[in-house]
Amino acid sequence: MSDDIQVLGREGTAIVAENKVLRNTYAMLGMTMIPTVIGAMVGINMNFAWMMATSPIMLFVGIMATVYGMTWLIAKNANNATGVWLLFAFTFIMGVLLGPILQHALHLSNGAQLIGMAAGGTAISFLTLAAIGSNAKRDFSFMGKFLTIGMVIVILAILANFFFQVPALSLTISAVVILLMAGFILYEINQVVRGGQTNYILATMSIYISLHNMFTNLLHLLMAFTGNND
């Protein structure tokens, strides 16, 4: 009897801890939207066209180095307060990097509407995936390897298309990225509720990156198919 009580006690403690990580993750995710919006406002007013025309390869390498460097620093400081401030700095930078696609969208007559649709679609997708993934009885851990392999393939396709600039491939990549990001969000939230991820800073960063990529690629598709130049 006492052994059963101890087991139930440990299970109850684990559930409480997992719920706390999930709550902290959602709270931090909401807070990261503030530096993201500020960064986006800065990015909209930057001259990315000049940077791209001057040295597109160096710009691409610089962006990749900054993004991966920041994620590495956040991972190294995920167990202290520095990690939180680094996460805010990272989301500000990611907001700035929204500048080019937002500039492109706002040059369309229905650009503001498309941005709103992309944001709304991303939010609805997140809420749906969160509801599914937060059910601890469901185990989506099997998705990890498939998602990683899929992401490697997409990165290679993006690098190839950076040089060849094939519109059809670009749209295909965007569609695949949206599906992959949905999978990553589902996987990460499920990992939190099942105890596979116990650090809310790392969980927030992972989900944020997925949401960022989902939004940009959804906006890209909306502009391609429903953008109005008139």
- Positive or negative, the Cα torsion across 228, 169, 68, 75? positive
Q: Locate 230 and state its tokens.
A: 């008139």
> What residues make up the domain containing 211?
2-226
Q: Which of 228, 230, 219 is nearest to 171 (CA)?
A: 219
C-beta separation of 40 from 32 below 8 A: no
Q: How far apart are the first and last CA of the chain?
A: 75
Query: How far is residue 142's CA from residue 216's CA, in Å, rounded to a whole number?
Result: 27
Distances (CA, A) of 61 to 86, 134, 177: 21, 36, 20
pLDDT at 15: 59
DSSP annotation of 194 reads: T
Distance of alpha carbon 59 from alpha carbon 70, whole angstroms: 16
Two structure tokens written together for 125: 């997708």
Which residue type occupies 65? A
Q: What pLDDT is recorded for position 117?
A: 96
The predicted pLDDT at position 175 comes to 95
Q: 6-54: per-residue pLDDT in tens?
A: 444 444 455 566 678 899 999 999 999 999 999 999 999 988 777 776 7
Give the number of C-alpha atoms closer than 13 A to the C-alpha of residue 163, restricted to the C-beta side.
4
SS3 60: helix
Which sign, positive or negative, has the C-alpha torsion 156, 206, 217, 162? negative
Two structure tokens written together for 165: 């600039």
Structural domains of the chain, count? 1
3-state DSSP of 118-138: HHHHHHHHHHHHHHHHCCCCC
The per-residue pLDDT for 96 is: 95
Query: What is the predicted pLDDT for the residue at 5?
Result: 47
Residues of the chain with pLDDT under 70: 1-18, 53, 230
Considering only CA atoms, which of 200, 146, 197, 150 is closest in space to residue 178? Answer: 150
pLDDT of amino acid 230: 62
**Residues 6+ away with beta carbon under 8 Å from 146:** 183
In this predicted structure, what is the pLDDT of residue 213? 96
192 with 21: CB under 8 angstroms? yes
